Amino acid sequence: MTYSNKRVLLSKRPDALPPADTWAHDVQQITDCPEGHFIVEQHFISLDPAMRGWMRNVRSYIPPVGIDEVMRAGSVGKIVASNHPSFPVGKTVVGTGGVQQYAVTDGKGWHLNPLPDAMMPKALGVLGMPGFTAYFGLLEIGKPQEGDTVLVSGGSGAVGSVVGQIAKLKGCRVVGIAGGAKKCAYMKETLGFDEVIDYKAGPVFKAIRAACPDGVNVYFDNVGGDILDNALANLAPKARVVICGAISQYNQTKPAGPSNYLSLLVNRATMEGFVVFDFAKRYGEAAQQMGAWMQEGKLHSQEDVYQGIENFHETFLRLFSGEKLGKLILQVKD
């Protein structure tokens, strides 16, 4: 048995938007499946904004990816060889297999995927990390109450689209922010948000003020920068600001801080960060609830799937250019 494994390695640490030479491509020959291990033929890998953070050599919630190591990424695929009793050949599994075609693993951090194969990409989206991030971030940190106005940035993205829909299911008024008419139409027509704001179309402060005349009770932030600042300027008393990410800032050497943060004082408001891994023991609960909502037709999800591990670099950049709709995924199985 030999598997030719095309891999993408982190070659350099970029300061700004990663150039192509951030990555090195190679092919590894896998000839052995060690005792207690199994080999996953990876079908899809997940492209997430958090990956940009994992490339930085700073203290964070997990160690950075090392230079010349396979780039870290979530993935889903099928077991093609196994010396592990709990992970037999033929099963579909989800884990953090990295940007490569085959992953050899002892199973730590992997789990069997209960979804049918046709839904494999959803295990990286609404029924995976981004979905769980939306679920726990909104419900546990944002604590929306019925009748609240919930504002979400990146509202057409993998996390934001789920945040807004769960907020609707909880009886909130939902306002989504995204860039461009296509994403705004998606939020309004497909996701059912009450109001949408195209941040490329005009001043964001005025648009938020108009869409949220009584102020924002929960702001779920995926983007940072000016949009965060303008959301802070429109908080309602006792508002909760959920810091989930800051995609506008990930390629800045010195991120911009929210200059309107004193709105937290004026409005007795809270800004709180979280990391979805802290809720790992409750992923089952989230998967069950969201699966039920999907079956009832109450939760829509969309994956934007690109092809070929060779196209990793260009596809990864779509996270930052905004040229994708929903969950960004790369199919790496040739």
Which of 28, 190, 270, 289 is in the footprint of a copy of itself by CB under 8 A?
270
Contact call for residue 278 and a copy of itself (CB under 8 A): yes
Cα–Cα distance, 147 to 172 (Å, whole number): 5
Binding mask 84-123 for a copy of itself (x = CB under 8 A): ----------------------------------------
To a copy of itself, the closest distance from the beta carbon of 178 in angstroms equals 21
Binding mask 196-225 for a copy of itself (x = CB under 8 A): ----------------------------x-
To a copy of itself, the closest distance from the beta carbon of 271 in angstroms equals 4
Q: Enumerate residues 40-79 that contact a copy of itself by CB under 8 A.
A: 59-61
Which are the contacts of 57, defined by CB distance < 8 A and separation ≥ 6?
Answer: 13, 64
**Between 200 and 268, CB nearer to a copy of itself:** 268
To a copy of itself, the closest distance from the beta carbon of 316 in angstroms equals 20
Kindly state the tokens that stand for 131: 């979905």
Interface region with a copy of itself, contact rule CB under 8 A, candidates 70-78, 143-151, 156-164, 243-251: 243-251
**Between 120 and 244, CB nearer to a copy of itself:** 244
To a copy of itself, the closest distance from the beta carbon of 225 in angstroms equals 10
Cα–Cα distance, 73 to 78 (Å, whole number): 16
Interface region with a copy of itself, contact rule CB under 8 A, candidates 36-44, 67-75, 198-206, 254-262: 254-262
Distances (CA, A) of 239 to 166, 199, 213, 234: 18, 22, 14, 10
Please name which of 250, 228, 317, 226 lies closest in space to residue 50, comparing C-alpha atoms. Answer: 250
Interface region with a copy of itself, contact rule CB under 8 A, candidates 10-18, 20-28, 38-46, 263-271: 263-271
Which of 139, 185, 256, 305 is in the footprint of a copy of itself by CB under 8 A?
256
Cα–Cα distance, 47 to 76 (Å, whole number): 12
Euclidean distance between the first and final Cα of the chain, in Å? 18
Taking a C-beta distance cutoff of 8 angstroms, is the pair 125, 158 a contact? yes
Q: Enumerate residues 123-162 that contact a copy of itself by CB under 8 A.
A: none
| CB burial string 240-278: b at 16+ within 10 A, e below | bbbbbbbbbbbeeeeeeebebeebbeebebebeebebee
Distances (CA, A) of 8 to 22, 102, 245: 10, 11, 24
Site size with a copy of itself, rule: CB under 8 A: 33
Which of 246, 287, 290, 299 is in the footprint of a copy of itself by CB under 8 A?
246
Which residues are near a copy of itself by CB under 8 A?
59-61, 224, 229, 243-246, 249, 254-275, 278
